[in-house]
Amino acid sequence: MITFAIPSDLPALRALWRECFGDPEAYIDFYFQNRFRCDQTLVWREGGAPVAMLSLLPVSVICGGTACPARYIYAVATGNAWRGRGLSTRLMEHARLLLQERDEGLTVLVPAEPALFDFYAKRGYTQAASLKTAHFPVQRYSDGGYAFSEGLSAAEYKALRDARFAREGYLCWDEAAIGYALRENAFTGGFACAASLPDGGRAAVVGQRRDKLLWVRETTLPDEAVEPALCELARRMGCGEVEVRLPADSAVEGAVRPFGMAGAPLGGGGYFNLVLD
């Protein structure tokens, strides 16, 4: 039987998360205290207890130039003892029908590993977005006039990313979701800062320092500023190399890979990021 979660399900859902994803207890606490909602979580019950789940996080996707309500499918999980019975497929189909009734028929997701692209393709999903990953050593550029400050707010970050990435197929998170993404990034040891540009503009940089690597989950820097600005930031943080995720059509040299999928054709040129991957 499929229902939405109820508060008394939380111990079972936490155990299911632990079994399927293997996250530390502190992270499980953080997610369930800050992002989880019963009315956004479908569960499959056996004997009244949840044995499989998926989350339906609200988001908007630009379709035909308009922001259309959609749901991001996240944390699809089935307990080991119940795998191979098609429970996740049934949950996804139930979600599709439910959202159609609510006029929120579009669902999007990011497969956790390459093999899952085929899994979701067999369930009607098509590629909707790619990401480019650029990797470069830190070089010393002449003073480009970049300054960095902590304290990037969710409101400013949303405004910056909407202005930078808006396009057909853009996954547009609201301010609350962006606020959670910033807190989650900080909780896992990351940073978020605003970069002041030589022309007086501002850009966001969100990422983590991983030993001598500056890993940038997302930045709204213009293409021409990506390498000089991030090299300057990496140098200040004591890093020797940079890895940054960018839109697939960025002019910065890098490798492009499939990233996001949608339950309806979006053309493949969209931009998905900040997806809690």
Of residues 165 and 266, more confidence is placed in 165
Task: Determine contact, residues 78/86, Cβ cutoff 8 Å.
Answer: no
- pTM score: 0.93
Domains identified in the chain and CATH numbers: 2-109 (3.40.630.30), 131-257 (3.40.630.30)
Q: How far apart are CA 120 and CA 123, in angstroms?
A: 5
Token pair belonging to 274: 């900040």
**Residue 250 backbone phi and psi in degrees, to 5:** -60, 145
* pLDDT tens for each residue of 80-122: 999 999 999 999 999 999 998 888 779 999 998 999 999 999 9
Give residue 262's identity as a one-letter amino acid code.
Answer: A
CA of 75: how far to CAs of 27, 150, 242, in Å?
14, 30, 29
* pLDDT tens for each residue of 4-44: 999 999 999 999 999 999 999 999 999 999 999 999 999 99
